[in-house]
Structure 1
């Protein structure tokens, strides 16, 4: 499929960033969102995830792969939670400036941390939130048991939003999505794959999961329009955003090794 050329103005793009389906996100300056974008409209995604999570003032939240900390700022402002904004590639100093500019410096703390060497105590977090990053580092069979689960309190939640196909495929990439499919896109998995990835450890139980309540394909296409991506990889009925919440079971990973 040949990419079509569109003459969207900047103002038209800004209007598309405000979506009545996500009223909390609509309160934020679209210029700020666009300036700090990293691959998605992260506020839509975190707002959708928040609808199926338990978030209360005073809770400690790990925002894994927070990027420019927009999701961390959102969670602090909207729910009064304390957020550790963890990222490997974005400078904590740069994130701190954004955090202070938004007036949540008492609730959001920027951390430089690599996903396999996180600087937190066991059972420290009430919940983990991960928006469009877990696929980059969390797909190994031992990642949850060796590097993540011990950080979450028993009965705490892990909230995940990831992009992926409606179901797993093997062999050649389907022609319907193959136009801009790069080799590293194989880390994008279906919702059922992610559920199994968590459940098979015995450390988590799935509490909820869907394609943003049926909105996952539309959100994909709307963001593609904003970014002027009109290839079939980003415009189809297969690829969509999914959200999932898993509860941390009470026993520890080491119980399996004794």
Structure 2
């Protein structure tokens, strides 16, 4: 069975460049909304700013209209893990806010997420943010041409487990990405290494650990989108889209291509 028979899309270098253009739109939009977010602002106001910015850069929001989703961002607050619908909710001091953004340029997608704290949060929540973000980079850093998708999964899980008693969502995963936002293969945040599709040049993946300070069990609210922890514990969510070149990893949704974080891990950087 070949790659395309399994639905895995392999891009040319020129198509990866198109994904980089989409990734930069996402990176700049997340930078904008991170700077804009403050107590008193609604999640809908953040979303409107994001949509305007994405369109102003000549791109289209990936999320808007996706299976009926009504926002250009997913904005998830505190015990909301992912897929929060932007609207009338007013952000408050001390909130933990996860922001997920996608954009399309010339038919190619970029997808990334970050988590921010508004004002003062506890040391426990600061640690959660740090562990979740670092696990994302450890996952990307474990990827090598010729390796397997679960090498990423194992690196995420191993790092999180080494840092304390955190919950790792299992029913929500990273994914392939390219001419569609969600494609095979799934990229779980747990598992044994050496399994799953082979990591080859032209494959692009979105890696996105979703980590809680309590149980990993979740429910979906009546809006049929917002994922919340069943025990009310808070969660963090970070995501990047990346690919592998012969030189190393290239993070398409990071402004610097991921160079600084990858080099800090001693991982080869594969961008321009």
Q: TM-score scaled to structure 1, two decimals?
A: 0.30
Q: TM-score scaled to structure 2, two decimals?
A: 0.29
Please state which structure has a larger fraction of its residues in helix.
Answer: 1
